[in-house]
Structure 1
Amino acid sequence: MNKNLTYFVQQDLQFHAKNPMNFGLLPDLDFVSGEHNPSCGDFVTIGGMIQDGKITNLCFQGSGCVISMAMASKLTVAVVGMSLEQVQQLDEQVIEKILGLTLGMNRMKCGWLSVMALQKGVLLYQQSKI
Protein backbone atom coordinates (compact mmCIF):
# COMPACT_ATOMS: atom_id res chain seq x y z
CA MET A 1 0.00 0.00 0.00
CA ASN A 2 1.44 3.37 -0.92
CA LYS A 3 2.04 6.07 1.67
CA ASN A 4 -0.90 8.29 0.62
CA LEU A 5 -3.35 5.39 0.66
CA THR A 6 -2.07 4.26 4.06
CA TYR A 7 -2.61 7.77 5.42
CA PHE A 8 -6.15 7.87 3.97
CA VAL A 9 -7.04 4.48 5.50
CA GLN A 10 -5.67 5.55 8.90
CA GLN A 11 -7.71 8.77 8.77
CA ASP A 12 -10.84 6.84 7.77
CA LEU A 13 -10.42 4.41 10.67
CA GLN A 14 -9.80 7.27 13.12
CA PHE A 15 -12.93 9.02 11.86
CA HIS A 16 -15.11 5.93 12.33
CA ALA A 17 -13.66 5.28 15.79
CA LYS A 18 -14.33 8.85 16.94
CA ASN A 19 -17.62 9.35 15.03
CA PRO A 20 -19.12 5.88 14.81
CA MET A 21 -22.09 5.26 12.57
CA ASN A 22 -25.16 3.61 14.09
CA PHE A 23 -23.81 3.89 17.64
CA GLY A 24 -26.37 3.13 20.34
CA LEU A 25 -28.82 0.28 20.57
CA LEU A 26 -32.28 0.83 19.12
CA PRO A 27 -35.59 -0.43 20.55
CA ASP A 28 -37.38 -3.44 19.04
CA LEU A 29 -34.27 -5.27 17.86
CA ASP A 30 -34.57 -8.86 16.67
CA PHE A 31 -31.26 -9.78 18.29
CA VAL A 32 -28.64 -8.32 20.62
CA SER A 33 -25.32 -10.03 21.17
CA GLY A 34 -22.03 -9.02 22.74
CA GLU A 35 -18.39 -10.03 22.61
CA HIS A 36 -15.45 -9.10 24.81
CA ASN A 37 -11.72 -9.39 24.20
CA PRO A 38 -10.22 -10.11 27.64
CA SER A 39 -6.65 -9.56 26.42
CA CYS A 40 -7.25 -5.86 25.72
CA GLY A 41 -10.60 -5.03 27.34
CA ASP A 42 -12.44 -4.13 24.12
CA PHE A 43 -16.14 -4.96 24.06
CA VAL A 44 -18.87 -4.65 21.46
CA THR A 45 -22.61 -5.27 21.58
CA ILE A 46 -24.36 -5.57 18.22
CA GLY A 47 -28.10 -5.32 17.72
CA GLY A 48 -29.98 -5.94 14.54
CA MET A 49 -33.29 -6.08 12.76
CA ILE A 50 -34.11 -8.83 10.27
CA GLN A 51 -36.80 -9.02 7.64
CA ASP A 52 -37.28 -11.78 5.06
CA GLY A 53 -34.01 -13.41 6.09
CA LYS A 54 -31.91 -10.28 5.56
CA ILE A 55 -30.29 -7.71 7.84
CA THR A 56 -32.33 -4.50 7.57
CA ASN A 57 -30.73 -2.46 10.35
CA LEU A 58 -27.66 -2.85 12.53
CA CYS A 59 -26.44 -0.82 15.49
CA PHE A 60 -23.80 -1.19 18.16
CA GLN A 61 -22.38 0.07 21.39
CA GLY A 62 -19.02 -0.59 22.92
CA SER A 63 -15.59 0.63 23.76
CA GLY A 64 -12.18 -0.27 22.48
CA CYS A 65 -9.29 0.43 20.18
CA VAL A 66 -9.51 2.23 16.86
CA ILE A 67 -9.74 -0.98 14.84
CA SER A 68 -12.48 -2.60 16.92
CA MET A 69 -14.61 0.56 17.00
CA ALA A 70 -14.02 1.43 13.33
CA MET A 71 -14.88 -2.13 12.30
CA ALA A 72 -18.11 -2.08 14.31
CA SER A 73 -19.06 1.25 12.73
CA LYS A 74 -18.27 0.13 9.19
CA LEU A 75 -19.91 -3.26 9.73
CA THR A 76 -23.25 -1.65 10.59
CA VAL A 77 -23.34 -0.26 7.05
CA ALA A 78 -21.58 -3.06 5.14
CA VAL A 79 -23.94 -5.89 6.09
CA VAL A 80 -27.31 -4.19 5.63
CA GLY A 81 -29.07 -6.14 2.91
CA MET A 82 -27.00 -9.29 3.43
CA SER A 83 -28.75 -12.59 3.98
CA LEU A 84 -28.25 -14.35 7.29
CA GLU A 85 -26.26 -17.02 5.45
CA GLN A 86 -23.91 -14.37 4.02
CA VAL A 87 -23.41 -12.92 7.50
CA GLN A 88 -22.40 -16.33 8.83
CA GLN A 89 -19.78 -16.60 6.05
CA LEU A 90 -17.97 -13.35 6.89
CA ASP A 91 -14.25 -14.07 7.26
CA GLU A 92 -10.84 -12.41 7.58
CA GLN A 93 -10.81 -11.35 3.93
CA VAL A 94 -14.12 -9.53 4.31
CA ILE A 95 -12.90 -7.84 7.51
CA GLU A 96 -9.77 -6.60 5.73
CA LYS A 97 -11.85 -5.42 2.76
CA ILE A 98 -14.23 -3.48 5.03
CA LEU A 99 -11.32 -1.92 6.93
CA GLY A 100 -9.21 -1.33 3.84
CA LEU A 101 -6.03 -2.86 5.24
CA THR A 102 -4.34 -6.14 6.05
CA LEU A 103 -4.28 -7.00 9.73
CA GLY A 104 -1.70 -9.01 11.61
CA MET A 105 -2.74 -11.84 13.91
CA ASN A 106 -3.04 -9.68 17.05
CA ARG A 107 -5.00 -6.88 15.37
CA MET A 108 -7.26 -9.37 13.58
CA LYS A 109 -8.80 -10.12 17.00
CA CYS A 110 -9.90 -6.48 17.09
CA GLY A 111 -11.42 -6.74 13.64
CA TRP A 112 -13.21 -9.98 14.50
CA LEU A 113 -14.86 -8.67 17.68
CA SER A 114 -17.94 -7.08 16.11
CA VAL A 115 -18.19 -9.80 13.46
CA MET A 116 -18.27 -12.48 16.17
CA ALA A 117 -20.97 -10.56 18.05
CA LEU A 118 -22.99 -10.24 14.84
CA GLN A 119 -22.61 -13.89 13.87
CA LYS A 120 -23.53 -15.02 17.39
CA GLY A 121 -26.59 -12.75 17.36
CA VAL A 122 -27.74 -14.09 13.99
CA LEU A 123 -27.26 -17.67 15.19
CA LEU A 124 -29.28 -17.00 18.36
CA TYR A 125 -32.00 -15.39 16.23
CA GLN A 126 -32.11 -18.39 13.91
CA GLN A 127 -32.26 -20.81 16.83
CA SER A 128 -35.15 -18.88 18.38
CA LYS A 129 -37.15 -19.33 15.17
CA ILE A 130 -36.84 -23.14 15.12
Structure 2
Amino acid sequence: MADASQVDALYQEIILDHYKQKHGSGLRDPFESEVHHVNPTCGDEVTLRVHLDAGTVSDVSYDAVGCSISQASASVLNDLVVGKPVDDAFATLDAFQALMQGKGEVEPDEDVLEDGIAFAGVAQFPARVKCALLSWMAFKDATSQALSTQEDA
Protein backbone atom coordinates (compact mmCIF):
# COMPACT_ATOMS: atom_id res chain seq x y z
CA MET A 1 0.00 0.00 0.00
CA ALA A 2 1.28 3.47 -0.91
CA ASP A 3 2.13 5.88 1.87
CA ALA A 4 0.80 9.44 2.01
CA SER A 5 3.88 11.00 0.41
CA GLN A 6 3.64 8.61 -2.57
CA VAL A 7 -0.05 9.47 -3.00
CA ASP A 8 0.71 13.21 -2.78
CA ALA A 9 3.44 12.83 -5.41
CA LEU A 10 1.03 10.95 -7.70
CA TYR A 11 -1.62 13.66 -7.25
CA GLN A 12 0.94 16.38 -8.03
CA GLU A 13 1.94 14.48 -11.16
CA ILE A 14 -1.69 14.23 -12.31
CA ILE A 15 -2.17 17.99 -11.82
CA LEU A 16 1.05 18.77 -13.71
CA ASP A 17 0.06 16.40 -16.54
CA HIS A 18 -3.27 18.22 -16.95
CA TYR A 19 -1.50 21.57 -16.77
CA LYS A 20 0.94 20.59 -19.52
CA GLN A 21 -1.63 18.82 -21.74
CA LYS A 22 -4.82 20.83 -21.26
CA HIS A 23 -7.88 18.87 -22.40
CA GLY A 24 -10.49 21.11 -24.00
CA SER A 25 -8.27 24.19 -24.12
CA GLY A 26 -9.01 26.71 -26.86
CA LEU A 27 -12.36 28.38 -27.43
CA ARG A 28 -14.49 26.49 -29.96
CA ASP A 29 -17.73 26.94 -31.86
CA PRO A 30 -20.58 26.15 -31.68
CA PHE A 31 -21.58 27.13 -28.17
CA GLU A 32 -24.73 28.27 -26.39
CA SER A 33 -23.14 30.24 -23.59
CA GLU A 34 -19.83 31.89 -22.74
CA VAL A 35 -18.78 33.29 -19.37
CA HIS A 36 -15.65 34.97 -18.08
CA HIS A 37 -14.62 34.46 -14.45
CA VAL A 38 -11.73 36.01 -12.53
CA ASN A 39 -10.33 34.91 -9.18
CA PRO A 40 -9.84 38.30 -7.49
CA THR A 41 -7.52 36.74 -4.91
CA CYS A 42 -4.79 35.82 -7.39
CA GLY A 43 -5.82 37.09 -10.82
CA ASP A 44 -6.46 33.70 -12.46
CA GLU A 45 -8.94 34.05 -15.33
CA VAL A 46 -11.03 31.70 -17.42
CA THR A 47 -13.35 32.25 -20.36
CA LEU A 48 -15.45 29.14 -20.77
CA ARG A 49 -17.92 28.06 -23.45
CA VAL A 50 -20.56 25.35 -23.14
CA HIS A 51 -22.28 23.55 -25.98
CA LEU A 52 -25.34 21.47 -25.09
CA ASP A 53 -27.08 18.99 -27.35
CA ALA A 54 -30.38 17.39 -26.31
CA GLY A 55 -29.66 17.72 -22.59
CA THR A 56 -26.07 16.51 -22.88
CA VAL A 57 -22.87 18.51 -22.44
CA SER A 58 -21.43 18.01 -25.92
CA ASP A 59 -18.47 20.39 -25.50
CA VAL A 60 -16.69 22.55 -22.96
CA SER A 61 -13.93 24.76 -24.27
CA TYR A 62 -11.97 27.39 -22.45
CA ASP A 63 -9.15 29.88 -22.50
CA ALA A 64 -7.41 30.17 -19.13
CA VAL A 65 -4.61 32.22 -17.64
CA GLY A 66 -3.31 31.41 -14.21
CA CYS A 67 -1.65 28.90 -11.97
CA SER A 68 -1.21 25.22 -12.66
CA ILE A 69 -4.05 24.33 -10.27
CA SER A 70 -6.67 26.49 -12.02
CA GLN A 71 -5.63 25.37 -15.50
CA ALA A 72 -5.35 21.68 -14.59
CA SER A 73 -8.75 21.86 -12.94
CA ALA A 74 -10.28 23.18 -16.18
CA SER A 75 -8.72 20.25 -18.04
CA VAL A 76 -10.13 17.75 -15.54
CA LEU A 77 -13.52 19.47 -15.75
CA ASN A 78 -13.52 18.94 -19.52
CA ASP A 79 -12.74 15.24 -19.09
CA LEU A 80 -15.43 14.74 -16.46
CA VAL A 81 -18.43 16.53 -17.96
CA VAL A 82 -18.21 16.32 -21.77
CA GLY A 83 -20.53 13.62 -23.02
CA LYS A 84 -22.60 13.50 -19.84
CA PRO A 85 -26.22 14.49 -19.36
CA VAL A 86 -26.41 17.94 -17.73
CA ASP A 87 -27.81 16.48 -14.48
CA ASP A 88 -24.88 14.06 -14.22
CA ALA A 89 -22.40 16.85 -15.01
CA PHE A 90 -23.92 18.97 -12.23
CA ALA A 91 -23.69 15.98 -9.83
CA THR A 92 -19.98 15.73 -10.70
CA LEU A 93 -19.62 19.47 -10.10
CA ASP A 94 -21.30 19.05 -6.69
CA ALA A 95 -18.91 16.21 -5.78
CA PHE A 96 -15.86 18.28 -6.81
CA GLN A 97 -17.14 21.33 -4.93
CA ALA A 98 -17.76 19.22 -1.80
CA LEU A 99 -14.20 17.86 -2.04
CA MET A 100 -12.74 21.36 -2.43
CA GLN A 101 -14.75 22.82 0.44
CA GLY A 102 -14.15 19.84 2.73
CA LYS A 103 -10.85 21.18 4.14
CA GLY A 104 -9.18 17.85 3.45
CA GLU A 105 -11.79 15.91 5.43
CA VAL A 106 -13.83 14.64 2.46
CA GLU A 107 -12.91 11.27 0.97
CA PRO A 108 -13.17 11.65 -2.82
CA ASP A 109 -15.13 9.12 -4.88
CA GLU A 110 -12.70 8.03 -7.61
CA ASP A 111 -15.56 6.57 -9.69
CA VAL A 112 -17.15 10.03 -9.89
CA LEU A 113 -14.13 12.34 -9.86
CA GLU A 114 -11.49 10.22 -11.65
CA ASP A 115 -8.42 12.54 -12.00
CA GLY A 116 -10.30 15.12 -9.92
CA ILE A 117 -9.25 13.21 -6.80
CA ALA A 118 -5.79 14.68 -7.35
CA PHE A 119 -7.15 17.97 -6.00
CA ALA A 120 -7.90 16.45 -2.56
CA GLY A 121 -4.71 17.97 -1.17
CA VAL A 122 -5.60 21.40 -2.53
CA ALA A 123 -8.64 21.45 -0.23
CA GLN A 124 -6.29 21.84 2.73
CA PHE A 125 -5.15 25.23 1.40
CA PRO A 126 -8.07 27.71 1.44
CA ALA A 127 -6.25 30.21 -0.78
CA ARG A 128 -5.93 27.56 -3.52
CA VAL A 129 -9.51 26.26 -3.35
CA LYS A 130 -10.74 29.25 -5.38
CA CYS A 131 -8.12 28.41 -8.03
CA ALA A 132 -9.39 24.85 -8.32
CA LEU A 133 -13.05 25.92 -8.39
CA LEU A 134 -12.70 28.79 -10.89
CA SER A 135 -13.49 26.81 -14.06
CA TRP A 136 -16.15 24.74 -12.28
CA MET A 137 -18.08 27.86 -11.24
CA ALA A 138 -17.74 29.20 -14.79
CA PHE A 139 -19.10 25.87 -16.09
CA LYS A 140 -22.03 26.07 -13.69
CA ASP A 141 -22.88 29.62 -14.77
CA ALA A 142 -22.42 28.97 -18.51
CA THR A 143 -24.52 25.79 -18.40
CA SER A 144 -27.25 27.46 -16.36
CA GLN A 145 -27.36 30.33 -18.88
CA ALA A 146 -27.48 27.88 -21.80
CA LEU A 147 -30.35 25.97 -20.19
CA SER A 148 -32.22 29.20 -19.47
CA THR A 149 -31.78 30.33 -23.08
CA GLN A 150 -33.08 26.97 -24.35
CA GLU A 151 -36.14 27.21 -22.09
CA ASP A 152 -36.91 30.70 -23.39
CA ALA A 153 -36.72 29.57 -27.04
Asked if TM exceeds 0.5, the reply is: yes
Q: Distance in 1 between matches of 2:117 and 2:44?
A: 17
Residue 93 (structure 1) aligned with residue 74 (structure 2): no
Structural RMSD (CA): 1.8
Q: Distance in 2 between matches of 1:94 and 1:31?
A: 26
Task: In structure 2, give the amino acid aligned to 1:33.
Answer: V
Total equivalences in the alignment: 130
Does the Cα contact within 8 Å between 1:71 and 1:99 map onto a contact in 2?
A: no
Give secondary structure in 2 for the equivalent of 1:46. Answer: strand
Q: Distance in 1 between matches of 2:86 and 2:14?
A: 27
1:85 Cα deviation (Å)? 2.8
Q: Specify which of 106, 118, 121 is matched with residue 142 of structure 2.
A: 121
Deviates more, 1:87-96 or 1:75-84: 87-96
Give the unaligned 5+ runs of structure 2: 101-107
Give 4+ residue runs of structure 1 displaced > 6 Å after superposition: none
Task: In structure 1, give the amino acid aligned to 2:53.
Answer: Q
1:94 Cα deviation (Å)? 5.6
Give secondary structure in 1 for the equivalent of 2:11. Answer: helix
Identity of aligned residues (%): 25
Residue 94 to residue 34, structure 1, CA distance change in 2 (3 Å): farther
Q: TM-score, normalised by structure 1?
A: 0.88
Give the unaligned 5+ runs of structure 1: none
Which structure is higher in helix share?
2
What are the equivalent positions in structure 2 for 1:1-130 lying under 5 Å apart?
2-89=4-91, 90-91=93-94, 92-93=97-98, 97=113, 98-100=116-118, 101-102=120-121, 103-104=123-124, 105-129=126-150, 130=152
> Counterpart of 2:103?
none
Does the Cα contact within 8 Å between 2:57 and 2:86 map onto a contact in 1?
A: yes
